[in-house]
Amino acid sequence: MTRLGQLRSETRFNLLGFRRSPAATFFTVVLPIIFLVIFTSIFGNEIISSTGARVATVYVPGILALALVSANFMNAAIVTVIRRESGVLKAMRATPLPPWVYVGGQVAASLVLTVFMTALVIGIGWLGYSVEVQPGAVPSLLITLGVGAAAFSALGLAITCVCPSEQAAPAITNMCVLPLYFVSDVFIPSDGAPRWMTLIGDVFPIKHLAVALGRTFDPFSEGVPMPAWHWLVLGVWGVFGVLVTVRFFRWTPRN
Amino acid sequence: MSGDTRLAIEVTGLHKRYGDVEAVAGVDLSVAIGEVVAFLGSNGAGKTTTVEILEGLRTRTSGDVQVLGVDPAEATADWRERIGVVLQGAKHEGDFTAAEIVTMWSAYYRSPRPTAEVLELVGLADAAGTRTRRLSGGQQQRLAVALSLVGDPELVFLDEPTTGFDPAARREAWQTIDGLRSLGVTVLLTTHYMDEADHLADRIVVISRGRIVADGSADELAEQVAMPSQISWDAAELSPGALGDRLRDLLRSEDESVPVRAAAGTAPAEQQTERHGARLALATRDVGEVVRELLAAANAAGVRLDSLAVQPPTLEDTYLALTGDALSGDES
């Protein structure tokens, strides 16, 4: 089969596996929607006096960031560790499939999930909460999604290097992202937070993703939003993920 | 290294060292095209390490290795098209059906066999639509064999294809592996069951502590170690006192209770006897002569000696003698 055909086949089976895994579907598709509904219900969808925008304009991009991290980082890492520990990756290494096609298939599947979740979250935000993507911000949205998906896919592969077993993978990946969500404008705006919390948020990539996405939904932004600084930080984290993966990734089980 | 073109596998002086441990300590091995060879040894003997070096999944410390004319350390995708690999304890992704997994893997090869044909080959046609988590151990193993056959390989490696299986699953796996022979595929399988090696392979190569200790058919191996047969009878029927001088001499050693198995590893006494409860037993390679003398003694004593039993050396005896495990106890 051609390389393109192999990529398509790998992507298709990754998505099929995703659909059949209740845990993966719940955490990546259902949970972000539940959060979106809960947060906008608790805080109401009022106009925030300081910005003049509705509450949901904060939550839609936040939840979109959550879904992107879940699809590209959490899901990819957990699936990879399961395959590694069950020997599937090792067996795959004994076939002619080039490793980059395997990785490419997984990244492509995550990207498809990202596009799906973006449409879903934006659709719900638009229909339910009157939140709109500013037409001029669409290119910025696409770039942010692309850079974010690439960076978190790379970090998802990198984190498998410190997951000793398939039981450890969900715990370790959650430990990485859950605390960060609270300081990264995902669950709550970090405006009034103590300085050390905003600093942590600034260092790690999730806040940069959420803020860059937020610019896309800001009804008062002037001209075309170009959150170049946030893209750069995401890019640096992505490069870090690639370097760790290239150096430490293993195809054989640890146990 | 040019290599013999009739050989699928050619290994000389293979070493693999992990720190201070020499897992493979100078293995020479050759497998002809079309041959089915069993690589027999206990756990930790170096089987899997050797095979994974041949599969290109592990590096070696030293030695020359040619598999289908290629050094596996420089494995290319083209070379991988020509080999099939079944890893030890192979598992599958549980959410996919057997047919889906085969189809997924067929995308890895240039000209794969059709999925239905592959499942038919390993007897899984009826389970094509079953999620792999619901397959039995034997079926999972057959699916692993199916995956190794998708690319229509010339050479297949099977690492411990039946370890941990119940007898029924074992027989299923055997049927599948026997089927490979009819495809004309060269097979190198590892096992720690002598009967499995005997059943499946044309030739058995025995490895112990990283070294090849024997090479041949099951019969040739048995001949090589020349294990004694066991002759036993009921002590109540024919007591030691009724025996002729020579046999009585043999039975004199009964009190030393020398384990019969140890006889093969040490410089063996010609014959030894051992007491098993109410039975008398002796081990000898001179079966005909000893039985004739026993029957003569029985005649003289006026008994029929219906309790007489002659047991040839078992495959396990041969195996244990070859690997010397009976003397050293368990290997780590």
**pLDDT tens digits for B252-271?**
444 444 444 333 444 344 44
Domain range list for chain B: 7-224, 228-312
CA–CA min distance A36, chain B (Å): 29
Nearest-CB residue to A94 (from B55, B78, B96) = B55
Q: What is the CA radius of gyration of chain B?
A: 25
Whether A96 and B78 lie within 8 Å, measured CB to CB: yes
Domain assignment present for A58? yes
Sole residue written with tokens 């794969």: B112
| pLDDT score of B262 | 37
Render the burial of A202-220: b for 16+ CB within 10 Å, e for the rest.
Answer: eebbbbbbbbbbbbbbbee
CB contact under 8 A, A1 and B55: no
Check residue B57 and give its pLDDT: 94
Radius of gyration, CA atoms only, chain A: 18
- Total domains in chain A come to 1
Cβ atoms of residues A42 and A139 within 8 Å: no
Residue A238 within a domain: yes
Distance CA B186, CA B199 (A): 16
Disruptive mutation site among A7, A95, A101 for chain B (greatest number of B CBs within 10 Å): A95
Q: What does the mean pLDDT of chain B come to?
A: 84
| B77, B80, B91 ranked by CB distance to A88: nearest | B91
Q: What band does B108 get if pLDDT is binned at 50, 70 and 90?
A: very high
Look up the CATH architecture of domain B7-224.
3-Layer(aba) Sandwich (3.40)
Reported as a single tens digit per residue, the pLDDT across A27-81 is: 999 999 999 999 888 887 777 766 777 778 888 999 999 999 999 999 999 999 9
Q: Does an H or E element contain B15, and which?
A: strand B7-18
* Residue-level pLDDT at B329: 41
Q: Mark out chain B residues that contact chain A at CB-CB < 8 A.
A: 55-57, 77-78, 80-81, 83, 85, 87, 89-93, 95-96, 100, 104-105, 107-110, 112, 144, 147, 151
Pair type for strands B7-18 and B62-67: antiparallel
> What's the pLDDT band for B274 if we cut at 50, 70, 90?
low
Of the candidates A83, A87, A96, the beta carbon closest to that of B81 is on: A96
- Give me the interface pTM, i.e. the ipTM: 0.90
Q: Which of A178-182, A234-238, B232-236, B251-255 has the lowest mean pLDDT?
A: B251-255
Residues 8 through 47 of chain A touching chain B, CB cutoff 8 Å? 9-10, 13, 16-17, 20-21
Tell me if residue A42 falls in helix, strand or coil: helix
Average pLDDT over every residue of A84-102: 95
More confident residue, B225 or B57: B57
Q: How far is CA B151 from CA B90, B99, B106, B110, B297, in A?
A: 18, 15, 7, 7, 66
**A248 to chain B, minimum CA–CA distance in Å?**
16
Question: What is the average pLDDT value for chain A, to the nearest integer?
Answer: 92
The CB density around residue A224, as the number of other CB atoms within 10 Å, is: 12
**Percent of chain A topping pLDDT 90:** 74
What domain range is A154 assigned to? 3-248
Quote the pTM value: 0.83
- From start to end of A32-158, where are the E strands? none
Cβ contact B107–A20 (<8 Å): no
Q: Do A88 and B93 touch (CB under 8 A)?
A: yes
Q: Return the closest-CA partner of residue B67 out of B156, B171, B198.
A: B156
User: pLDDT tens across A134-147, in order?
Assistant: 888 899 999 999 99
Mean pLDDT confidence for B43-66: 93
